[in-house]
Chains A and B, each alone.
Chain A
Amino acid sequence: AQSVTQLGSHVSVSEGALVLLRCNYSSSVPPYLFWYVQYPNQGLQLLLKYTSAATLVKGINGFEAEFKKSETSFHLTKPSAHMSDAAEYFCAVDSGTPLVFGKGTRLSVIA
C-alpha cells in the first residue's frame, strides 16, 4: 500500500528565505505525486503534480518540486517566501485511486 510521510508538522521561515517542505513516499508501483495547499477556511488547491514526465515540476505561485526515485522523495521548494505563502501544505500519492494524503505541514512566514 502507498503512503506519504511529511517531515515536520510546522515549518517557520523568514520572508524572503528559502522554503523547503519535505515529503517521502512509499509505493509499490511508479506513483503520481501531488502537492496541495490549503489556506485558512478553504479547501485544498492543487499546487503541482508529478505524473512521470519531467522530474522537476513547476507549480503555481513560484513553487516547484523534484521527484527523486532513489530517495523516494518529492520535496517542495520556493526560493523566496512571501507572507501570502503561509498555509498548510499536503503531499499526496496516487498509485491507483484514491489519493493518500500526508498529515500536512503548516508553513508560517515571519516578517
Chain B
Amino acid sequence: DARVTQTPRHKVTEMGQEVTMRCQPILGHNTVFWYRQTMMQGLELLAYFRNRAPLDDSGMPKDRFSAEMPDATLATLKIQPSEPRDSAVYFCASGLETGLNYGYTFGSGTRLTVV
C-alpha cells in the first residue's frame, strides 16, 4: 500500500531550538496538508499545497512556522524558535484533487515535545 512517510516519528527539543519535520507524500498526489493535533484544540489545519504551490497557511503562526515543498516528493514544516506550546503531534496528509475528493492519506505523525 502507498503511504505517506513522516520523519522523525518523535522529537524532543529544548525551547528556542529549530525543529524541522519532513513528509514524503504519496507519489502522484498533488495536494499536501499539514495538520497539528492537540488534546485541547483537536485537529488544526496549518497549511496546504497544491502542485507544490502554497494555497493557504493562515493556520500557522507566521513569525515562527514555515512550510515549503522543495520538490514533489518532499514537504517540510519548520519551527524556529520552538516553544513549549508547540508540543503536539504534527500530521502530514496527501491527496489527489481532481474535482472529486476521495479523501486524504495521513502519515503516522511526528510527536514533538518542546521542553
Contact = CB atoms under 8 A, between A and B. Distances in A.
Interface of A: 32, 34, 36, 41-46, 49, 51, 90, 94, 97-99, 101-104
B2 interface: no
A104 B108 CA distance: 17
Q: Which of A41, A42, A43, A45 has the most chain B CB within a 10 Å cutoff?
A: A43
Interface string B90-101: 010100010011
B103 interface: yes
Say whether chain B's binding surface is mostly helix, strand, loop, or mixed. strand
B106 to A, nearest CB: 4
B97 A44 contact: no
Nearest to A103: B42
A97 B97 contact: yes
B51 to A, nearest CB: 12
Given A43-B91, A90-B43, A104-B42, A97 B101 contact: yes
Contacts of A32: 100-101
Nearest to B111: A41
Given A43-B91, A104-B42, A49 B48 contact: no
A58 to B, nearest CB: 15
A45 B106 contact: yes
B100 A42 contact: no
B103 A42 contact: no
Interface in B33-83: 33, 42-43, 45, 48, 50, 55-56
